[in-house]
Structure 1
Amino acid sequence: MTAGRVVLWRHGRTAHNAAARLQGQSDIPLDEVGVWQAETAAAALASRYRPTVVVSSDLGRARATAQALGDRTGLPVTTDVRVRERSFGDWEGLTSAEIAERWPEQHAAWVAGHEPERVGAETRAQVLDRMVAGVTDLAAALGSEDTLVVTSHGAAITLGITGLLGLPAEWKGVSGMSNAHWAELRPGRPGSGLAWRLEALNVGPVHASSDWNAGPDRPDEGMDDEVRDPA
């Protein structure tokens, strides 16, 4: 048996996300916008699916995001270290420009699609393997009517999807995930030779704001009521 649906949900925004700093396994909390994103996305998830189990990375930003869904659905949130973000070693907390200044050759190789070397980062294959193992084990404990929601991280989800589709770690055909957006996978059809198939990618309540990363829409505080509403 396995879950009939797996939802891989990325955490809401953090200050490192907003500043384009490489986060990795640094335990950075949600910022104000991230809390709003988590609550807004949790409402959308709860209206779209009937989650059975909610599991989170052990990192705080993921746990807080998952808890927004747990609070809405009444489900407990458990953690699994296997679905935490990819470690980037010495690069964590730095911007791309700062990495390029200190590790120009390694940065150039990374931008070209190669592995970061000699900086203590996990390889793509290592992350893929633990994500696939974690999601597969969690899903195997459920049945065909169940929906498993796994709250994780951008790089981890991308590599997890790649592995669950039976593709190698070096394949880079999955686009990145926006904060508090999710992907949906269903078991492969009998005889297809596929364990999982991708049903949806980078889905979220984007209608909730004209700019998802700016937070909730608010009237301009510098405008009086007559200007805002001339009628």
Structure 2
Amino acid sequence: MTAGTVVLLRHARTAYNASLRLQGQIDIPLDEVGRWQATEGGAALASSHRATRVVSSDLGRALDTAAAYADALGGVPVTTDARLRERAFGEWEGLTGEEISAGWPEEYVAWRRGADPVGAGAETKTAVAARTAAAVQEHADDLPDDATLVVVSHGAAISLAVTALLGLDAATWRGLVGMHNVHWSHLHRAGEGAVPAWRLVAHNVGAGYPLDQWQAGPDWNLEPGAKSV
């Protein structure tokens, strides 16, 4: 018995997202645009996927995004699982790319090529893929075949979980584009005995806004300096 559908939803925007700071496991709240994204994106997801169960990372930005989706479904309960947290980046957390590059130039270049950071205390991609994929599979296995599991997590964590669920090597395979805030991946369980056990149906799907409008928030169409009423 395993849920037939799994949807992995990335959290809404934070001030660190807006300023291009590496969040990792720092517990940053949603900003104003992020709260709007959570509401709009949650409603869009609810129109296409109605969860049997909603499970979220226990970090606030994910949990608040999950709550917005749950509200769009009429108030379904949300459970948390710390295994769905973002990848930990050690000393790099809270820094911009420029700051990381200045302090760890060789490690930064290697990271941008896809290697694991060395010397900063970051989790390996393999470790993150293992914990996130195990959490997703465990929650899916607890549901009937016609169920939909919605998992609310983080950008790197989701990419690595999907990679592992597709049976690919998380340490070397980089075939998924990074996800925008409140966008989701949709996986469907494959047939009995199929390898891999999951198939990727869609990736980086959102509420349908042009990306510049989505990132700007509800005031995207106002003149500079104007305020919404």
| Pairwise TM-score range, normalised by the shorter structure | over 0.9
Match in the other structure for 1:167: 168
- Structure 1 residue 210: deviation in Å? 5.5
Measured in 2, the distance between the counterparts of 1:6 and 1:210 equals 28
> What one-letter code is carried by the residue in structure 1 that aligns with 2:217?
G
Secondary structure, counterpart of 1:160 in structure 2: helix
Is the contact between residue 209 and residue 215 of structure 1 (CA under 8 Å) also seen in structure 2? no
Q: Which amino acid aligns with 1:134?
A: A
Q: Are 1:129 and 2:130 matched, yes or no?
A: yes
Tell me which residue corresponds to 1:227. none
Shift of the alpha carbon at 1:219? 3.5
Q: Is the counterpart of residue 219 in structure 1 residue 229 in structure 2?
A: no
Structure 1 CA distance, aligned partners of 2:111 and 2:5? 33
Structure 2 unaligned spans of 5+: none
In the TM superposition, what is the alpha-carbon distance from 1:194 to its structure 2 partner?
1.9
- Give the residue type in structure 2 aligned to 1:205: A
Q: Which runs of 5+ in 1 are unaligned?
A: 224-231
- C-alpha contact (below 8 Å) 1:22/1:91 kept by paired residues: yes
Distance 1:122 1:210 in 2: 32
In the alignment, the residues of structure 2 paired with residue 94 and residue 209 of structure 1 have an alpha-carbon distance, to the nearest angstrom, of 24
Instruction: Tell me what 2:185 maps to.
Output: 183
State the match for 2:88 in structure 1.
87
Structure 2 counterpart of 1:183, one-letter code: S
**C-alpha distance in 1 between matches for 2:212 and 2:119:** 42
Compute the TM-score of the two structures, normalised by the length of structure 1: 0.93
One-letter code of the match for 2:63?
A: R
Provide, for residues 106-144 of structure 1, a one-character-per-residue CA deviation record: whole Å limited to 9, x for no partner.
Answer: 111111221100111000000000011000000000012
The number of residues matched between the two structures is 223
Report the equivalent of 1:153: 154
Q: C-alpha deviations, 1:58-108, integer Å up to 9, x for none?
A: 000000000001222221111001111000000000001000111111111
CA distance in 2, matches of 1:208, 1:46: 19
Secondary structure of the equivalent of 1:200? strand
Aligned to 2:43: 43
- Please identify runs of 4+ aligned residues in structure 1 that moved more than 6 A: none
**What's the Cα RMSD here?**
1.5
Structure 2 distance, partners of 1:5, 1:222, is 44
Amino acid at match of 1:44: A
- Aligned identity (percent) is 56
SS at match of 1:55: strand
> How far apart, in 2, do the equivalents of 1:115 and 1:82 lie?
19
